[in-house]
Amino acid sequence: MEPRLGGPVSGDGVPPVDYLSWYIPRLQENRPHDLSQSGFEYDWNLDVDNAKMLGFWESGANPAEWVAERYGVDVDQVCVTHGVCQAISLAILAALPEDGPRVVGVEMPSFAVVSQCARLLGCEVIPFHRGPNPGDWRLNRDELLDILPRVGAIALTPMMNPSGEMMLKEDEDWLIEVTRDAGVNIVSDEVYLDASMGTEFYRPMYLRGENVISVNSLTKCYGLGPLRFGWAIGPAKMIQDVRNAFHNLQGMASAPSMAIAEAAFPRLDEALDALRAAREENLPKLIDVLAENGIVWSPPPIGIYGLIPIETDAVQAMAEHGAPLGLLATPGGMFHKDLSNHLRIAWGGDADAFEAAMPVLSQFLKSIQEESTEA
């Protein structure tokens, strides 16, 4: 079920996003103990005038200005999009050279949208790896050097999904240098990165080089997933290319989304404060449950999700042991086949609900261990 790389696709050849094909039906079951959400849950209670939601553009407001002000860039370095998934596709179109190879190197493990969308854009997609050996998430530099002469762009996720591990600064420094020298542009999916704001780990890649487009949204760190408000930040010329692609494929942004985002933007730091508080409250409870079940685990240094080892295939375990308990977590094999015996656990939910899920998770782990012993 890992992402499907390869050549250009269309029609019956368009690959499914196997993770979403698996996840959405289970999400719709409304299992009471949901540890699958990779995004922060936050009760915004926004007050938005209904009339403005439909007539937003009459105000003349420019949503790119809100993003530019928050991230300290010029307005012409920002293009607002409908969520980060759309931003990734648009950024890849802008990052590919006009007369260069239509080949994209993608970091693995990764979410299938990052890995597969370039195939729909007529590109071949080939991998390079970070890890995926738990405990060792260094960039495979030799592998990347091998593919650089063949690619027009690369795509990566600095705060990796599903591990939550940050790319090492020395790997980032090296990556910026070798891609610049090779004339290869970078698309950096930073939808989780704002969880690290104010720490040593906050290193937006648009600040690191002139060959980078960073994409982000209000989805994962700010608790506004259904809104689908995203953006791309990069050099003005490349962002104009993103904007041109957006106008061709989308036309205009959604007025209701823009109106709701306008109400949220002045308060975004509230959500980040709550995210940090959720980590401080919930994460120790998870560590205790894992320790009680003999699982030695070190959480990623920042963020609200991590990758937990278990003793069996996680898809099968969720079906046989998770579903009867009303438990939902995300199998790591959805992101890379070598992570099939791992679960992505999120701790960004409501504190009471998270605490209630901990004994259920413990029972789930005990059931797996008992089955393994019997076998």
What do you get for the CA distance between the two ends of the chain, in Å? 26
Query: Which residues are within 8 A (CB) of 312 and not within 5 positions of it... i.e. 6 or more apart?
Result: 341, 368, 371, 372
Q: How far is CA 329 from CA 81, 166, 316, in A?
A: 29, 21, 12
Task: State whether residue 192 is helix, strand or coil.
Answer: coil
- Distance, in Å, from the CA atom of 289 to the CA atom of 312, rounded to the nearest integer, reads 18
Would you put residue 146 in left (φ > 0), alpha (ψ -120 to 50) or beta? alpha
Identify the bridge partners of residue 214 per DSSP, sorted by sequence position: 188, 233
Rounded to 10 degrees, the C-alpha dihedral 6/7/8/14 comes to -40
Which tokens hold the place of 207? 């600040």
- Distance, in Å, from the CA atom of 307 to the CA atom of 330, rounded to the nearest integer, reads 9
Task: State whether residue 206 is helix, strand or coil.
Answer: helix
Report the length, in residues, of the chain.
375
Give the pLDDT score at 198. Answer: 95
Which tokens hold the place of 248? 């061709």
Domains of the chain by range and CATH? 11-40+269-369 (3.90.1150.10), 50-267 (3.40.640.10)
Residue type, position 155, single letter: A
Residue type, position 274, single letter: A
Give the pLDDT score at 375. Answer: 61
Query: Which residues are within 8 A (CB) of 285 and not within 5 positions of it... i.e. 6 or more apart?
Result: 354, 355, 358
- Distance, in Å, from the CA atom of 322 to the CA atom of 308, rounded to the nearest integer, reads 15
Residue type, position 334, single letter: M
Q: What is the largest CA-CA distance in the chain?
A: 67
The residue among 163, 145, 162, 164 whose CA lies nearest residue 154 is 145
- Distance, in Å, from the CA atom of 264 to the CA atom of 252, rounded to the nearest integer, reads 20
- Which sign does the torsion angle of CA 254, 202, 165, 147 carry? positive
Query: Which residues are within 8 A (CB) of 298 and not within 5 positions of it... i.e. 6 or more apart?
Result: 135
- Reading across the β-sheet that carries 153-156, which strands appear in turn? 78-81, 230-233, 212-217, 185-189, 153-156, 103-108, 124-129
- Block means of pLDDT (10 residues each) for the chain, 375 residues, are 96 95 95 93 86 81 96 98 96 95 97 95 97 88 97 97 96 97 98 97 95 97 91 98 97 92 95 96 97 94 95 96 97 96 94 96 95 71
Identify whether the C-beta of residue 271 lies closer than 8 Å to the C-beta of residue 45: no
Task: State whether residue 329 is helix, strand or coil.
Answer: coil
- Distance, in Å, from the CA atom of 218 to the CA atom of 232, rounded to the nearest integer, reads 12
DSSP sequence for 135-176: TB--B-HHHHHHHGGG-SEEEE-SB-TTT-PBPPHHHHHHHH
Give the pLDDT score at 70. Answer: 98
Tokens 């542009």 sit on residue = 185
- Distance, in Å, from the CA atom of 142 to the CA atom of 129, rounded to the nearest integer, reads 10
- Distance, in Å, from the CA atom of 347 to the CA atom of 336, rounded to the nearest integer, reads 22
- Distance, in Å, from the CA atom of 122 to the CA atom of 18, rounded to the nearest integer, reads 20
Task: State whether residue 318 is helix, strand or coil.
Answer: helix
Cα-only R_g, the chain: 21
Residue type, position 5, single letter: L
